[in-house]
Amino acid sequence: MSVQLRKRLLLYSGLLVLLGLWSFSVNVFRPELIPGPWDVVLGLVELTTRGLLFKYIVASLFRVTWGYLLAAGLAIPLGFSLGYFRRGDRALGPIIQVLRPISPLAWIPLAILWFGVGDSPAVFIIFLGSFFPIVVTAIQAMITIDPTHINAGRNFGLTPLRLVWKVILPATVPQLVVGLRLALGIAWLVVVAAEMIAVNSGLGFLVIDARNAGNRYDLVVCGMLLIGVTGILLDLLMRRLENTLTAQWGYSNQGNASSGGANA
């Protein structure tokens, strides 16, 4: 038996044990408190036939995408700048360290006050949840670069943009992509909580709406499973990106950076 087959059997056996415990719990406790696996499957079919399944998943992914990309687009350049200009880090670092431990959910009342009800407050909260982990990772990644590499790039006449592309990014990608992956996980957690309060669509809204509209706990569990599966798929996507970028820039491009700098 191959190693891959053993891993798959181990994975499937764990899922089968979980389903068995789930079914056993339904028989021991009251079914209205713990919906069974088949009830959740029927709930999933109901959401699909009503056209809500795809709609809610897309709504959550839409908010996560915008909040996450905005955070990455601002946090990475800021982190690189603060990591390079140490005086800026000493000036702004305390502000970042004060704001970073504040839960993004604590901003919900202000987000609703500033942006009203809809996608904007949810995107803002996701932005906050993603911004601080990325900016801290970018600062630390920039600090760890050997100054000799940057000085060598300058001596070879690299422009600031080529210096970032040829030296800084290849040196920081292995650390930066890990921070991006963690930030995406936080963004997915935050959007679910935000959708329970500030919007009327998405997987988080599905969970709270199913609870309030007739105690549909089968749909509650269905929403929970969809949240988990979508989160796993997002993490797998980031792992694939992490492996690709690390292989391309974290190792092979190190040599390309030197040769590119020499050719410049």
pLDDT of the residue at 9: 74
Calpha distance 119→139 (Å, rounded): 30
Q: Is residue 25 part of a domain?
A: no
Specify the number of domains making up the chain: 1
How would you class 32 by CB atoms within 10 Å of its CB: exposed for 0-12, middle for 13-18, buried for 19 or more? exposed
What does the pLDDT read at residue 125?
Answer: 93
**pLDDT for position 172:** 81
In a domain, 205, yes or no: yes
**Residue 16 counted as domain residue:** no
pLDDT tens by residue, 100-113: 899 898 998 899 88
Q: Looking at residue 69, what is its pLDDT?
A: 95
List the CATH number of the domain containing 173: 1.10.3720.10
| Residue range(s) defining the domain that contains residue 55 | 37-263
Supply the pLDDT for residue 253. 42
**Does residue 190 contact residue 125 with C-beta atoms inside 8 Å?**
yes
In a domain, 17, yes or no: no
Answer whether 0.85 is exceeded by the pTM.
Answer: no
Q: Is residue 29 part of a domain?
A: no
Which residues of the chain fall short of a pLDDT of 70?
1-2, 11, 30-33, 214, 246-264
Q: How many CB atoms lie within 10 A of CB 247?
A: 12
In a domain, 3, yes or no: no
